[in-house]
Chains A and B, each alone.
Chain A
């Protein structure tokens, strides 16, 4: 770094020479500017406050504690119409956040997909996505919200003719099957990655499945020993085991033979159950649908944490910590030895093991079979099944009686509404869809431009040094595309969050709609709007802060 540093000549400086120094002049100019702005602002705000005071309208925030009858169409359970304005406002904030956070996630996903389609070499895909973008970004958002609300959501089938998924209801499998998938799939990927000349590859592949099958068998057997009746999954287990062992000795295509075996087992077990040959054990059939869509909204299962949830979370957190350690440690090993380690996979496995192990350990103790319930004003101890049949169990008791950490319940219709379900209102759906779809058109263009901004030479250079396609994308194309994408993407995020205030047009109780009602009821327009303005400002600042932080990571260093 030698050579160019020039030492200042030791000169005696007069006041006049300081005033000629451009650096000092700049500082003086900035100070003067701030002072002028402060004075002007002070004058304007001062006269405004004077005027308001003269008409007895001085900002005063004590009204937010007032109680007036205030009904909100879409509010959490804790809210009642007798609550104060403060609670009503909070409900509005929650509703806005529900739309904005979910909307940001979905609009990003959709926008990225459409943006990639815009560059597709497939003519149909390219043209369809181009038409999508052009239509959506050229129609005012307000119009689109109305279309989503009146033309699409409100003309969905009525309650009785709800669109159902799956149509005929499902056979509700024990949750652990989902968990088997969570470990099974990464394990499967791992086993595939082992190179063919590693002697344990075949063993590792089959052993994984064998372990899964043994685990299931052990679980079922132990449950049976606890006296929970014959489990139809025992049959499934036997079939899958036979296929798995067979596949093990076959050595080739072990995975799909096993998968087919498991499927066959399910079909056979399911059929036998329907025919009444097998009694219902852990195999609980239900004819409810998982997702229902009608002109009163979207209904899907409710997931609740039970009393065992926190113990389970301890396992999950432990798994995550182990994953973090593996992640860092593997990076170091790769640096030191060059050996590539699929550390993402290992980290995922660690978390998955925490999740599954915790699930089993925490859920091992069966739920109590008797419970104290209130019947005809007296407390009686009753069999759980009996109490459930007579509908004596409170929701809290149902949670107590679930042996797993999460209680997932399928929507059940009671009259005009659904219980044990999560319901999204038509207003929420329409606003969410309109915001997501509208913003995605802009994001798609941003993504397209970002990818196109990476010169072709970069791709060629990456290929020429031998990077694989995935490595090229991850290490060369994405970092450079993101640099172009992130600033305008942040603007779109801001747009979506601000545009959510159009909720008022269809009566969705977002922060603006609620505040508007509060202002009308209380007459506190100045204070009310100060609150609304600061709320949106806060949202925007948070988004900007996050996007700026991300953006800094992708800045290019140039001369």
Chain B
């Protein structure tokens, strides 16, 4: 625990060379089950980090710890200079800075697309309605579905829903975006439209943590790839490192890569 009041600390911006996310020896258990083991990781501003690993290795759990959808039991997670602890103000402050996109979209089915996007900016950031609606329209154009604002999520295709979900997260103008297998629930022809949006976002300089099995995306966009297994970070490096056959890999990584590539 840092001695400085974390809220105050956050007010002076972290310097550019300072990591925006710092995880130190993060451990987590579900009952007796040790899901995360000494996970240490730093993410720089504007970095695109792709997390890969077999099912059940703790990838989702790890990124969900970063915006406190899961609680870690040991170690430190510091986001944008604010340490995640039990202080609700810190949790709220961090959640405002982090957008998240889920595998199952999780759009609010009782609200229109526009309302889905404007809800949090209005209620959390206290924007005027007009400003929030303008932002929503901009974002819908950015993700390529400007004409769907007045529809309900149930009236959209999966790919469109996921793009709305990305717009919803972006509406809060977050510094960091978390993606948990954003394309796994989509039909192949819709995967591309979502990946295109994510690529554009990465190019625009967003800090991104992406759990995905889309190796093409990792190769093309990622600054760094992290391989997780049994709750540990087994190996990390630039994408070339993972997709280069001449490099000697950890046997687990080798097995995993041979299965998916």
Contacts and interface: CB of A to CB of B under 8 A. Distances in A.
B106 A457 contact: yes
Given A461-B102, A461-B107, A464-B95, A559 B128 contact: no
B92 A554 contact: no
Given A475-B123, A556-B152, A461 B108 contact: yes
A464 B104 contact: no
A557 B154 contact: yes
A340 B128 CA distance: 10
B98 interface: yes
Contact of A480 (B99, B109, B131): B109
Interface in B104-157: 104, 106-110, 119-120, 122-131, 152, 154-155
Nearest to B130: A336
B154 A340 contact: no
B98 A338 contact: no
Contact of B169 (A462, A463, A465): A465
A467 interface: yes
Contacts of A460: 69, 102, 106
Interface in A417-464: 455, 457-458, 460-464
Interface residue range, chain B: 35 or more
Contacts of B126: 338-340
A335 B126 CA distance: 9
Interface in B166-202: 168-169, 172
Given A480-B109, A556-B109, A465 B154 contact: no
B104 A479 contact: no
B96 interface: yes
A172 B100 CA distance: 58
B61 interface: no
Contact of B110 (A466, A467, A483): A483
Nearest to B97: A466
Interface in B205-241: none
B67 interface: yes
A558 interface: yes
Interface residues of A, number: 29
B213 to A, nearest CB: 20
B104 A465 contact: no
Contacts of B107: 461
A336 B172 contact: no
Interface in A500-559: 554, 556-559
Interface of A is mostly: helix
A554 B119 CA distance: 18
B147 to A, nearest CB: 9
B98 A464 contact: yes
Given A460-B69, A479-B110, A466 B95 contact: yes
Contacts of B154: 556-559
A465 B131 contact: no
Given A457-B106, A465-B119, A466-B92, A558 B152 contact: yes
Contacts of B109: 480, 556, 558
Contact of A466 (B120, B130, B165): B120
A467 B128 contact: no
Contacts of A221: none
Contact of B106 (A338, A340, A461): A461
Given A464-B69, A465-B120, A335 B129 contact: yes
B167 to A, nearest CB: 12
- Find the residue from B96, B99, B120, B155 having the highest chain A CB count within 10 A: B120
B8 to A, nearest CB: 14
A468 interface: yes
A466 B128 contact: no
Contacts of B168: 465
A457 B127 contact: no
Contact of B127 (A338, A458, A554, A559): A338
A463 B99 CA distance: 10
Contacts of B96: 466
A554 B110 CA distance: 8
Contacts of B102: 457, 460-461, 464
A338 B122 contact: yes
A337 B104 contact: no
A4 to B, nearest CB: 14
A340 B127 CA distance: 9
Contacts of B124: 465-467
Contacts of B125: 338
A476 interface: yes
B131 A338 contact: yes
A287 interface: no
Nearest to B157: A559
Contact of A458 (B98, B106, B130): B106
A471 interface: yes
B74 to A, nearest CB: 22
Interface in B77-111: 92, 95-96, 98-100, 102, 104, 106-110
Contacts of A556: 109-110, 152, 154
A476 B109 CA distance: 9
Nearest to B117: A465
Contacts of A483: 110
A478 to B, nearest CB: 10
Contact of A467 (B67, B68, B123, B152): B123
A465 B124 CA distance: 8
A449 B120 CA distance: 27
B110 A464 contact: no
A462 B95 CA distance: 10
A463 B95 contact: yes
Contacts of A466: 92, 95-96, 120, 124, 172
Nearest to B151: A557
A557 B165 CA distance: 18
Nearest to B147: A1
A196 B129 CA distance: 27
Given A460-B69, A476-B108, A465 B128 contact: no
A463 B108 contact: no
Contacts of B92: 466, 468
10 contacts: A335-B128, A336-B128, A338-B125, A338-B126, A457-B102, A458-B108, A464-B95, A465-B119, A558-B152, A558-B154
Nearest 10 pairs of A and B residues by beta carbon: A558-B154, A461-B106, A465-B120, A457-B106, A557-B152, A464-B100, A338-B126, A466-B124, A335-B129, A338-B128
Interface of B: 67-69, 92, 95-96, 98-100, 102, 104, 106-110, 119-120, 122-131, 152, 154-155, 165, 168-169, 172
Given A336-B130, A340-B123, A466-B124, 18 more contacts: A336-B129, A338-B128, A457-B102, A458-B108, A461-B106, A464-B67, A464-B99, A464-B102, A465-B99, A465-B168, A466-B92, A468-B92, A479-B110, A480-B108, A554-B110, A556-B109, A556-B110, A558-B154
